[in-house]
Amino acid sequence: MTKDEATQLALGYAWASEDVSKVPTAGPADRVTTLAFAEAFAHGWSEYNSERQWFMIPVRDAYVNWQASAGASIYSREQIASLERVARTRVA
């Protein structure tokens, strides 16, 4: 998936989730929150495509994690720990 495709997918998912749940997308107060989520999701795909990251999660899981973290991350704590472990082994 390209970065543009990932952005469009994430925007569509966020908008649909807001429509269905009536709960706004979490995120920074100074930004359009759906766009912030879409950019974070697209960045994850970009990292995956360039092989700097060894896995990417589905948009649904990314949105759930984004909401649970109040817009801080598309990854769960466990996924972040896993990414950090792999990054340390690649540096070593």
Distance CA 83, CA 86 (A): 5
Position 90 scores a pLDDT of 66
User: Is the Cβ–Cβ distance between 37 and 6 less than 8 Å?
Assistant: no
pLDDT at 81 (0 to 100): 87
Average pLDDT of the segment spanning 26-46: 92
Domain ranges in the chain are 3-91
Q: Summarize pLDDT for 47-56 with one digit per residue, the tens.
A: 887 777 777 8
Tokens of 62: 């990314």
Q: How confident is the model at residue 64 (pLDDT cuts 50, 70, 90)?
A: very high
Lowest average pLDDT, out of 27-31, 35-39, 53-57, 87-91, goes to: 87-91
